Amino acid sequence: MERLKLGSRAARDVRPKARPAVQRRPPPVLGAIAGSTSDEPTVTLSKRAVERLDQGHVWIYRSDIAAPETLAGGEVVRLADERGWFVGKAFYGAQSQIAIRLLSREDEPIDEEFFARRVGRAIALRDAIQPDPGRCRAGRIVHGEADLLPGLVVDRYADCLTMQTLIEATDARRELFASLLEKALRPRAIVERNDVKVRAYEGLAQRKGVLRGTAPGPVEFAEGEVRLVADLLEGQKTGAFLDQAENRIEAGRYARGRALDCFTYGGAFALQLARRAEKVTAVDISEQAAAQGREAAVSNGATNLEFKVANAFDLLREESARGERYDTIVLDPPAFAKNKASLDAALRGYKEINLRAFHLLERGGVLVTCSCSFHIDDETFERTVLQAASDAKRTAQVVERRGAARDHPTLLGVPETRYLKCLILRVP
């Protein structure tokens, strides 16, 4: 058959015909979502709110919704755009400025089976990350919005669980979630750690205690080759700072010579450094934290680890003035920027400690520097560390850019789920 010449009449005649016009959705039914048979309350979203969801976010603020006056906090609602078309299903909050937290973009029942599936998928991800659950590990099982379970945080410490229900909707369902976790994981105990300030934004009181089983006491768990102990009822966060677990193990790989760990808390970073470094000095302002660190050092046989009770800012300044030098330094401070109003002061703090660390580093030394302040993004943090290096007349190689451990996933389009920054730098 003779090939048709491009652009010839014959060639144009064999082109596929144009597709028929896309059929428009039917107009909405007044007072309801078109095609809906659900009796869930409907919340109407502004055009800006719909665009926000389309861009991947899962939170909608109160200023961008229209809700029934009688709608109670904690309810599951249907979301509609201003034309009445279905957008998704969500938790509604009556107190917080975050009024809508998306659950699903599908028109599906939000019932016990729905939550069981979500919890099961969250557990499956962690099993893929840590395929040897027989070891006495610790890690996050449910990471709130990032696991599409807004306001729910669950951590595992060996054979025990801690749970936080941080919004009205999850708090109202805490017994349901405890039962689902008990059925899925068969823990020895489930501890409630709802003694966090963020609950105040939802009008919720602080509370802690044992939901299932009996009070577990101190729970020992492994982080790499290091053994740690968590107090699930009294320890920081839900017992320990699990988001830094992989960063601590990685920092230990770079440790050598003389090492300094600032803001050490219970010494989790320092214990990893002590496995390779010749001598480690761990610094914290809390005597109680230092005492916990000393106990951990003894149980791990870390005889090259010393704990000092001091203000890390003061110690860095004094060590720098004396001309001290270190081969490895870790900076893991608490969040300096609690809100936008404290941003400038926080950046000055980050610059100060990194400046002193660069002064203290030997040539070829490694600095592991972190920020858990959400209000300071990756670019701003790196720029601040660069300014510190420049003022110290040092050049910094980026060896690794890291974030929270893999069991703390993030959502594309939701920057709030990415809060932890960790830079591993080398001074050439």
Q: Answer for the pair 356, 350: CB distance below 8 angstroms, yes or no.
A: no
Which of 262, 370, 372, 422 is an active site residue?
A: 372
Supply the pLDDT for residue 130. 79
Contact between residue 276 and residue 258 where contact means Cβ atoms under 8 Å apart: no
**386 confidence band (pLDDT: 50, 70, 90):** very high
Residues 103-113 have a mean pLDDT of 97
* Average confidence (pLDDT) over 219-239: 94
Q: Is 372 known to be catalytic?
A: yes
pLDDT band (50, 70, 90) for residue 198: very high
Question: How far apart are alpha carbons 60 and 242 in whole angstroms?
Answer: 28
Q: What is the mean pLDDT of residues 400-416?
A: 96
CB 224 within 8 A of CB 154: no
Q: What is the pTM of this model?
A: 0.88
